[in-house]
Amino acid sequence: MGKANVSAFFRKYTMIIALVLVVIFFSITTEGKILFPQNINNLIAQNAYVFVLATGMLLCILTGGNIDLSVGSVVCFAGAVGAMMMDKGVNIWAAVLTMLIIGILVGMWQGFWIAYVKVPPFIATLAGMYAFRGLSNVVLQGMTVSLKSETFIRVFGGGADCYVPDIFGGEGINMTCMVAGCIVVIILIAMQLKSRINNKSKGYEMAPLGSTVVKLALISAVILWIAYKLASHKGIPTSLIWILLVLLAYGYLTTKTRIGRYLYAVGGNEKATRLSGINTKKVYFLAYVNMGLLAALAGILTIARLTTAQPTYGQGYEMDAIGACFIGGASAYGGIGTVPGVVIGATLMGVINQGMSIMGIDANYQKVVKGLVLLAAVAFDVISKREKK
Amino acid sequence: MAKILLEMKNITKTFPGVKALDNVNLKVEEGEIHALVGENGAGKSTLMNVLSGIYPYGTYEGDIVYNGEVCQFNKIKDSEEKGIVIIHQELALVPYMSIGENMFLGNERGKSAAIDWNETYGEADKYLKMVGLSESSKVLVKDIGTGKQQLVEIAKALAKHAKLLILDEPTSSLNEKDSQALLDLMLKFKKEGMTSIIISHKLNEVAYVADKITVIRDGSTIETMDKHTTEISEDRIIKGMVGREITDRFPKRHDVKIGDVNMEVKNWTVHHPLYPERKVCDNVSIKVRKGEVIGVSGLMGAGRTELAMSIFGQSYGTNISGQLFLDGKEVQLKNVKQAIKNKLAYVTEDRKGNGLVLTNPIKINTTLANLDSISPHKIIDKDKEYQVAEEYRKKLKTKCSTVEQNVGNLSGGNQQKVLLAKWMFADPDVLILDEPTRGIDVGAKYEIYCIINDLVAAGKSVVMISSELPEVLGMSDRIYVMNEGRIAGELSAEEASQEKIMSIIVNSGKGA
């Protein structure tokens, strides 16, 4: 039994193991610099958009490997409109709301063509990629617009000083951050305990206690370690709050709700889903509406972080998001993929980016490496599935 | 004694955790038709994959002796060069290519840089004539029916100079007429000296065509029967397959009260979705009572599936006209959701394509058509889902490790049970079962019949569409015979027989 179990373990946790190995590799090559609190903080702030976009992209990919190429342009377009509004003195919350609504409208537009007219998603969103890039330029008149609202920048995690204030006033170390880390761990353990008790009382099958404890201990350790690192810098970056909100909401949506179930079903077998009385067109439509919404949110985070809006923002973001999904184990044919997988995929990409930057590797070579990692991840996935047959 | 063309000696093949073949021996004489029978998962296809080199030499133990020499095939090409050609159950034709292009795919005529199209089509026409097809080889494969596609596959095999032809379930998607033609073609080839191996579930066909029958059960050869020395009956074969005698292939229904009309369809006409001028169902009227099983018989393409799907929330066809009454009230079902709400269920003939999400576990498939009932406020109650799936697993005796197992890893019969569970959980009053036992083994069939009996005993109505006449005759209270979109006749269980059904079909065809 040993051998089969070991190989099953590696298959299940390949990407996590890869992530650990990559972190170890960069800790050695950068002499530990990659693990500096400052760098961990940057890793989160700089990749906030990837987490948000990849979560939205996951839903599209689940419906059958459908991707959205327009998200980079939509990020820029929503950001551009918001920046112009704030520049003209519109209330920042009105601007934020407008940006989100624009995202939804863009999603509805593309969702309409994809779901109801049956234009292939690749084409429909390629069209959007051009159109919204052009519109961003039109809105910004080709110029850079600076953001002046401090509140906006702080809330959405931009600039130099965008951390959750330390209400406990710890010295040298951010107590709020540590407390938050501990609370998260406690909640995690409590939830796991509750589910085990529940399973036991109803007599359901349970994962063995040993492996659950080990898993929980490892996850808790990682959370506390990150909390400690962040606490020794300046505390919780606000962008992390947004990332967590999105991840938790969509983690819940994909596993616990009806619409989440439909996304997997449509990607797994569209005809069977339709014959089960489910409106499959609506499922496609909603996946793209949601993608638009999250693209707008990513747009908000992007302009806040850079404190400006430019017509070139968001270029290549779609590829980062798609890459994170596939590295995180989503199937290119749809029906398979999880939010935690996306987290792993996005983190792996982020670590590789940052590690190479710290090492001072030329940006062009960084792209080469990123491409190869994506190829390797998907090839590995395909091969390991084939062996299973 | 004739020469032994093929001998497979002590073949053992293991997959991680499973011994798929255990010391299998098979001897095939030159010029005979040898049938391989066994329940699903018994190892028939695995054995043929070993023979054809899909599982290369070295991944199994044992020897293949072909034409007097020990063979070591590493890929399909190797075995084909020796004249061993396998035709798989799922047809491997490219729909948007012509017959000729398909026939020589991977075996092109002419030079590699310059295909000789004249030779391609000329040769193709020659082989098509040999299998009795009159189509031009320039016709696209998508434009001919499944029966003819199967013949194209055989012609393709002939073009590879096959000496040993292996047919895996060749008639599983063919109607009675095309099946008969195919079997006769096999007999014709036999006269010309061809050796064939046929894998089939349809025992009447096996008994008709085979000289020898080898039974495989649980990965081992059980016995080989020779038609010329022993009497072979279907019951005899079944006994070998299941290891016991099935005294009655169709369970009896006891004291099921037949009640009021539950569903009635009047003057139902459906047009083809792509060619609206074509009527697929023409003025069909049928009814089914509570506690009644009606059989719908007919040839492939008679419009049975189309009728069922058009009733089921218009999921097929355009310009649908006619009236539908459920429990005495006329209803208009515009989509599947409304159909389910009105307590109608359609269990598809194509469980993998239209029925199940193979990448999802049993529990998710079980609840998919009635997710609302376990998800108050749109949030799924996973406890309840598990309980429901568990309940149906026990009720239908689905064989699986847990209900968390992916449906794609189950055998055909167990997949069919999951599909039935899904629709039973949707709580319908009328179930339309389309080919409910297609491609599943004898034991699982019997269990499906028992489930049908339980359903009608609970006062539900079952409409069973089936191409297998014994099944229709064995299970139905009443039988409708469909042909070319019309109801060609109606028979009660007492008066129905295979001959009567076939004669209704033949006669209605003449009249048109």
For residues B232 and B254, membership in a common domain is answered with no
Q: What is the mean pLDDT of residues A81-94?
A: 93
Q: Using a CB-CB distance cutoff of 8 angstroms, which residues of chain A are in contact with residue B432?
A: none
Number of Cβ within a 10 Å radius of residue B272: 18
Question: A268 — contact with chain B (CB < 8 Å)?
Answer: yes
For residues B421 and B285, membership in a common domain is answered with no
Chain B residue with the nearest C-alpha to that of A199: B383
pLDDT at A160: 59
Q: What is the pLDDT of residues A117-130, one digit of tens each?
A: 999 999 999 999 99
Range of the domain at B141: 4-242
Q: Using a CB-CB distance cutoff of 8 angstroms, which residues of chain B are in contact with residue A253?
A: none
Question: B431 — contact with chain A (CB < 8 Å)?
Answer: no
Q: What is the pLDDT of residues A263-318, one digit of tens each?
A: 999 998 888 888 888 899 999 999 999 999 999 999 999 999 888 999 999 998 99
Chain A residue with the nearest C-alpha to that of B408: A268
8 Å CB contact of B355 and A272: yes
Q: Which of B365, B368, B383 to mutate to test the interface with A (most CBs of A within 10 A)?
A: B368
Question: B356 — contact with chain A (CB < 8 Å)?
Answer: yes
Q: Is residue A252 part of a domain?
A: no
Percent of chain A at pLDDT exceeding 70: 95
| pLDDT classification of B75: cutoffs 50, 70, 90 | confident
Chain B, window 122-161: residues with a beta carbon less than 8 angstroms from a chain A beta carbon: none
| pLDDT classification of A389: cutoffs 50, 70, 90 | very low
pLDDT at A288: 96
The domain boundary, picked from B367, B401, B427, lies at B427
- Tokens 């959750």 found at: A164
For residues A113 and A231, membership in a common domain is answered with no
Question: A198 — contact with chain B (CB < 8 Å)?
Answer: yes
| pLDDT classification of A202: cutoffs 50, 70, 90 | confident
Question: B339 — contact with chain A (CB < 8 Å)?
Answer: yes
Q: Is residue A8 part of a domain?
A: no
For residues B162 and B262, membership in a common domain is answered with no
Q: What is the pLDDT of residues B449-461, one digit of tens each?
A: 999 999 999 999 9
For residues A136 and A189, membership in a common domain is answered with no
Q: Structure pTM?
A: 0.75
Q: Is residue A11 part of a domain?
A: no
In chain B, the N- to C-terminal Cα span, in Å, equals: 52
For residues A348 and A362, membership in a common domain is answered with yes
Chain A residue with the nearest C-alpha to that of B390: A204
Q: What is the pLDDT of residues B210-242, one digit of tens each?
A: 999 998 887 888 888 888 877 777 777 777 776
For residues A285 and A158, membership in a common domain is answered with yes
For residues A214 and A300, membership in a common domain is answered with no
Which of A109-113, A289-293, B110-114, B476-480 shows the lowest per-residue confidence on average (mean pLDDT)? B110-114
The domain boundary, picked from B391, B407, B427, lies at B427
For residues A186 and A153, membership in a common domain is answered with no
For residues B234 and B254, membership in a common domain is answered with no
Q: Is residue A129 part of a domain?
A: yes
8 Å CB contact of B380 and A258: yes
Q: What is the mean pLDDT of residues A59-72?
A: 94
pLDDT at A1: 45
For residues B126 and B16, membership in a common domain is answered with yes
pLDDT at A196: 83
8 Å CB contact of A261 and B380: yes
For residues A126 and A209, membership in a common domain is answered with no
For residues A41 and A99, membership in a common domain is answered with yes
Structure tokens at B328: 């005495």
The domain boundary, picked from B216, B242, B268, lies at B242
Q: Using a CB-CB distance cutoff of 8 angstroms, which residues of chain B are in contact with residue A259?
A: 378
CATH of the domain at A353: 1.10.3470
Chain B, window 391-420: residues with a beta carbon less than 8 angstroms from a chain A beta carbon: 402, 404
Nearest-angstrom CA–CA distance, A259 and B378 = 8
Percent of chain B at pLDDT exceeding 70: 96
For residues A102 and A153, membership in a common domain is answered with yes
For residues B321 and B442, membership in a common domain is answered with yes
Range of the domain at A79: 31-162+259-388
* Chain B nearest CA to A115, separation (Å): 17
Structure tokens at B36: 């391989």
For residues B20 and B100, membership in a common domain is answered with yes
Q: Is residue A359 part of a domain?
A: yes
Question: A240 — contact with chain B (CB < 8 Å)?
Answer: no
Question: A276 — contact with chain B (CB < 8 Å)?
Answer: yes
Percent of chain A at pLDDT exceeding 90: 49
Structure tokens at A137: 């330029």
Chain B residue with the nearest C-alpha to that of A268: B357
State yes or no: ipTM above 0.85: no
For residues B264 and B157, membership in a common domain is answered with no
Q: What is the mean pLDDT of residues A31-44?
A: 88
Question: A202 — contact with chain B (CB < 8 Å)?
Answer: yes
For residues A37 and A84, membership in a common domain is answered with yes
For residues A317 and A377, membership in a common domain is answered with yes
8 Å CB contact of B404 and A205: yes
Indicate the number of domains in chain B: 3
Indicate the number of domains in chain A: 2
For residues A142 and A99, membership in a common domain is answered with yes
Q: Is residue A295 part of a domain?
A: yes
Q: Is residue A102 part of a domain?
A: yes
Q: What is the mean pLDDT of residues B413-432?
A: 93
Question: B59 — contact with chain A (CB < 8 Å)?
Answer: no
Q: Using a CB-CB distance cutoff of 8 angstroms, which residues of chain B are in contact with residue A335?
A: 357, 359-360
CATH of the domain at B195: 3.40.50.300
pLDDT at A122: 94
pLDDT at position A206 over 80: no
pLDDT at B378: 87
For residues B192 and B122, membership in a common domain is answered with yes
B329-330 and B318-326 as β-strands: parallel, antiparallel, unpaired?
antiparallel
pLDDT at B462: 95
For residues B89 and B235, membership in a common domain is answered with yes
Q: Provide the angle, in degrees to the nearest 10, between the axes of the packed helices A14-29 and A2-12.
A: 70
